[in-house]
Amino acid sequence: MLFKTSFSSLVAIIISFATFYSPTELSAQQNVTVAGQDVQFRLGATIQPRFTYYTSDLNDDTIEQIGFGLRRFRLRNYISIGKQWAVFSQLEGSGLNAQLLDMRVDYKLNPEFTIRGGRFAGAQPRSMAFTLHSDIDAIDRPAISEYWAKNTIGADARDYGLEVMYHPDFFEFRVFLHNGDNRNNIRPGASDEIPTSPRTKMAVSSSFRYFPLDDTHTEIGIFGGLNKNSGHYEASDGYYTAAFHVYRGAFPGHYPFRIKIDAIMIRHLEVESHPERFDHIFTGASLFAGYLISKETEAFVKAETYRVDRHVIKQDVNLFSGGVTYSFSAAQDKNFNITKLTAMYNIKDDSLPDRIARFLQLQLQILL
C-alpha cells in the first residue's frame, strides 16, 4: 500500500508539472552567445520516469514483478564556435553513477560535408541510436536493434572513432572508422606506448539514407559494418553486419498514419563455443504502425521476430506490442515529443526457454 501511495503521488506531481508548465518553458533551450558573438552555448535535458508491471510463465511457475524508476535522465550541452565548429556532449544519470555518453567534435567544411570525431553514435542501423531517445515510438527501441548493439559495439551504441558525413538535400552518406568496442578508449602515452589488449584492426561501418522528394519524414536506407577483431560473442575472427529500413513518418505525431520496417543481420565468425560451425548468424525484423487519432493522441502497434542463431531451429523470439501516446505539448500546439505519456502492453514469446512474458509499461517524457 505504501508503494502504491508513493507511486501515485509521484505520478500526480510529474503530470501536474508537465501540465501546468507550458511546453515553451519545458523546451526553453535558448542560445547564450559569448566571446564576441563567436560562441553559442545551449543546455538541454530529458527526464523519463517509467513504471513496469511484468509477469511470465516458465515451467508452470508464474513470476510477477513491479518496477518504477528513471529510465533516462540526461543532460546535453551544445557549443557552436563560429560557423564551422561544434561540440556536443551528453551525460547519462539514470543509473547509480553518472557517465559521459557522448563527447563529439564536428567540423563542417560546407553545409553538406561534415567531419566528426570522439565518442558518439556513428553509422549504424537506423532503429538504434539514430532514432533519438526522445523520438522512440513505443517506449523502447525495437528489440532487434538493442540486440544488435549489445552484440557488436556495446549496449549504448556509441564508439570512439572518426566519421565523415555527406548530406545534400535528398540523401545522407556516412563512413565511420572506429575502435569496434566502446568500452575501451585506448590512449597510449610516452611511458606506455603499447596499450593493454591492443587491437590489430579498426572497425569500419557505413550507412546510406535516401529521402524521396526532400522529405525527412520518409526515408529508405541501408547499413553495413565489419569488425575483424576478436572478443565479440565468442567470435575469434570478428563479425560483419547489415541492416535495411523503410520509414513513412519517422517521428511520432507528424503523420496521420506511420509505418516503419527494419531488418538486421549479424554474422559472428569462427565461434569458439561451436568449433564445428564456422559462424553464428542473428537475423531479425520489426514492423511498426502508428495512427494519429487526434493532434495529441497516437495509437500504435509493433511486431518483431528474430532468431538468435539461424543454425538452431528453436531459438525464435516473437514480440507483439500495442499502446497509445498522449502529448501534453501537442495539445498546446507545440512539438509532439516535448511532454508526452505513453502506455504500452507487450507480449514476448520466447521459444528457448519456452516462456511467454507480458509487460505493462507507463512512461512520461519531459524535455527541458
What cell does 263 get? 531488418
| Nearest CA among 333, 305, 342, 346 for reference residue 135 | 342
Condensed to tens digits (0 to 9), the pLDDT of residues 195-253 reads: 555 555 789 999 999 999 777 789 999 999 999 876 555 555 788 999 999 999 999 99
Domain residue spans of the chain: 2-367
Per-residue confidence (pLDDT) for residue 273, from 0 to 100 = 60
d(CA 366, CA 368): 6
Per-residue confidence (pLDDT) for residue 10, from 0 to 100 = 44
Per-residue confidence (pLDDT) for residue 300, from 0 to 100 = 98
Per-residue confidence (pLDDT) for residue 359, from 0 to 100 = 94
Per-residue confidence (pLDDT) for residue 21, from 0 to 100 = 46
2-367: CATH superfamily: Porin (2.40.160.10)
Per-residue confidence (pLDDT) for residue 294, from 0 to 100 = 97
Low-confidence residues of the chain: pLDDT under 50: 1-11, 13-15, 17-28
Contact 86, 108 (CB under 8 A): yes
pTM score, two decimals? Answer: 0.85
CA distance readout (Å), 210 to 15, 103, 142, 174, 194: 39, 27, 21, 12, 42
Per-residue confidence (pLDDT) for residue 181, from 0 to 100 = 77
Sequence-distant (6+) residues with CB within 8 A of 351 are: 314, 315, 316, 317
Per-residue confidence (pLDDT) for residue 183, from 0 to 100 = 60
Which secondary structure element, helix H or strand E, spans residue 263, and what is its range? Answer: strand 257-269
Max CA-CA distance within the chain? Answer: 70
What cell does 191 get? 611511458
Per-residue confidence (pLDDT) for residue 176, from 0 to 100 = 98
Per-residue confidence (pLDDT) for residue 28, from 0 to 100 = 45
